[in-house]
Each structure stands twice: as structure tokens, then as C-alpha cells.
């Protein structure tokens, strides 16, 4: 059966792959970005969603400038909380399922074992607080919702850590990367496939979704370098930057980062869904995808 799917934030790196995944499966997809629909304008959301009559809305649009959010609090909440409320109310009106993409930043990062879906949240940043506000609005205003928390996202469409590292490795002699923040990288192609599988089901609830395994940012950078060399991604291997570990304290940022944000995929396991592949395998697939572009 083919469905009508609306994707907000369609020009972002996850939104782009979500649109592509549903289109490849033959569904009728409407991808919306801020030019097509301002999610902070409730009437515009009502009109657009009423006009398209989607069966499912994948809400990828978000304010994701983590550091900027610390001083731009109202905008972060206007997009991540009010905007999410607007989408949720309009979705409920047309009886559409709603998939809300959330983040590992809803946790304080002070734990040492992987966070499960129903562990207590305690966001430390404005970004994390505004995304948690969005979660709560979805849960209270929608009758058919999925909340998918993800982390360390990378994809071919848009800016991300992998692309930045590949660029810097060729241009610099040394790179310092933090070694005291641990999490799980997530490839947008894999995440989009899981989103599609969940959205077409009745398995509502909160899910943690990332590629299997975990690493520090330093270990991730080292793996990017190793796999890119193996793949032949660099024009010359004689001048690739040396990667050095450093602490978060050496690079102070406006927004606090979770020191430990590894997420357990209990929701995926208990609902009989297939786990996403290990992050290093996903990284290799991403390098292949980049090469084709």
C-alpha cells in the first residue's frame, strides 16, 4: 500500500534521505523546508497539512545550532517547541501519524551505561531543553506518535563531522579532537530506513536509534582517517593531518556537551526491529556514497 508522506526539514541531511527513502519505496512524498512552510506559523502549518492530507508526517525540521541556542533561546523554543506543537496539532486534525526526531542532548551525559528510552531526561543545554519540550508536546497532543532520539548524525547532504574531518585532514598538519565525549555515530541512510519501517507500523512510542557501537570523537576521527586512506579518498597520503586527543575543557563552547550519550536500543529490540549496522560499517558505506556524488 502506498501512502501520502509529508517530511518537514526536507532540505536537511536527514530530511533529504527520508524523502529519498519514501520516494524509492513508491510513496507520494511532499518535502517541505522553511521556504515552503514556516513551522512557527500555526495557520500556515494547518493550511499546508490540510491541503496535502498526509497519512504520515516525519518532522525533521529543527533548530540545531547548539551553541547559538544558548543566546538565542526564544528562537530555539519557537522552532523546536512551538513549531513542533503546530505540526502536531495539524497532524492530529487530519489523523496523520507523527514521527518526531529528537536527540541524545535530552540527557545530561553524566551516566556511564547506555541510556534507555525511559530513563530520566535532564538536558543541560538550551538545545536539549527545547527538543525535550517538543517531545512533551508530541506526547500530549498526538494520539499516534513516534519519538526517535538519535545522535552524531552524518549524511551526504549537508554539513557534518565526517565531511569536516575529511576536509581538515588534507588542509592541516595537526588536528585536535576531544577524547572525553563518548557517543554513537548515525548514518542518515540507515536512520531513514528505520524511520520508514517504524512510520508504516503501529509500534508507537519512544525509540533510541543510532548505528551499533560507540566511540569518542577522537576515535571517530581516527576511524575516518583510516577508512578514507583505505578507500583512497585523499589525493595524497603523505600530507594527512596527525590527529591528537584533547579534553573538552581545552575547547570551551557556549553549550555544554554530554560527556556520555551512548543510547541503548531497547525499543528496537523489544519491538522486533532490526538493529542498525555497526557505525564503522556505516562510515565505509558513507565514503562510498560520497565518492559517487
Query: Which residue in the list 16, 115, 127, 260 is annotated as catalytic?
Result: 127
127 part of the active site: yes
CB 57 within 8 A of CB 8: yes
Q: Can you tell me the distance from the alpha carbon of 103 to that of 159, in angstroms, rounded to the nearest whole number?
A: 17
Please, which residues bridge with residue 187 across strands? 154
288: CB partners within 8 A, 6+ apart = 231
Q: DSSP letters along 46-93, please? A: HHHHHHH--SEEEE------HHHHTT-HHHHHIIIIIHHHHHHHHHHH
The angle formed by the CA atoms of residues 128, 100 and 40, to the nearest 5 degrees, is: 75
Cα→Cα distances 246→3, 179, 180, 251, 258, Å: 48, 6, 8, 8, 16
Task: Count other C-beta atoms under 10 Å from residue 126's C-beta.
Answer: 25
Indicate which residues carry an active-site annotation.
127
Amino acid at each position: 500500500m502506498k501512502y501520502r508522506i509529508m517530511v518537514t526539514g526536507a532540505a536537511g541531511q536527514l530530511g533529504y534521505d527520508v524523502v529519498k527513502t519514501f520516494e524509492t519505496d513508491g510513496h507520494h512524498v511532499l518535502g517541505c523546508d522553511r521556504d515552503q512552510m514556516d513551522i512557527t506559523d500555526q495557520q500556515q502549518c494547518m493550511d499546508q497539512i490540510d491541503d496535502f492530507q498526509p497519512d504520515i508526517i516525519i518532522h525533521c525540521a529543527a533548530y540545531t545550532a547548539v551553541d547559538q541556542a544558548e543566546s538565542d533561546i526564544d528562537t530555539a523554543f519557537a522552532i523546536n517547541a512551538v513549531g513542533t506543537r503546530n505540526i502536531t496539532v495539524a497532524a492530529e486534525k487530519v489523523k496523520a501519524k507523527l514521527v518526531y526526531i529528537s536527540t541524545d542532548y535530552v540527557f545530561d551525559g553524566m551516566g556511564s551505561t547506555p541510556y534507555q528510552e525511559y530513563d530520566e531526561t535532564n538536558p543541560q543545554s538550551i538545545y536539549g531543553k527545547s527538543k525535550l519540550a517538543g517531545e512533551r508536546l508530541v506526547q500530549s497532543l498526538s494520539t499516534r506518535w513516534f519519538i526517535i532520539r538519535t545522535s552524531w548524525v552524518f549524511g551526504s547532504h549537508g554539513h557534518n563531522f565526517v565531511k569536516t574531518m575529511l576536509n581538515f585532514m588534507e588542509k592541516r598538519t595537526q588536528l585536535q579532537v576531544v577524547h572525553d565525549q563518548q557517543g554513537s555515530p548515525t548514518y542518515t541512510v540507515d536512520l531513514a530506513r528505520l524511520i520508514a519501517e517504524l512510520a508504516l507500523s503501529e509500534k508507537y512510542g519512544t525509540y533510541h536509534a543510532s548505528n551499533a557501537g560507540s566511540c569518542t570523537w577522537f576515535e571517530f576521527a581516527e576511524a575516518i582517517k583510516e577508512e578514507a586512506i583505505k578507500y583512497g579518498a585523499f589525493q595524497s597520503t603523505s600530507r594527512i593531518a596527525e590527529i591528537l586527543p584533547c579534553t573538552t575543557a581545552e575547547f570551551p563552547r557556549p553549550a555544554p556537551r554530554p560527556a556520555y550519550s551512548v543510547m541503548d536500543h531497547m525499543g528496537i529490540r523489544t519491538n522486533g526491529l532490526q538493529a542498525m549496522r555497526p557505525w564503522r560499517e556505516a562510515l565505509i558505506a558513507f565514503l562510498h556514497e560520497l565518492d559517487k556524488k
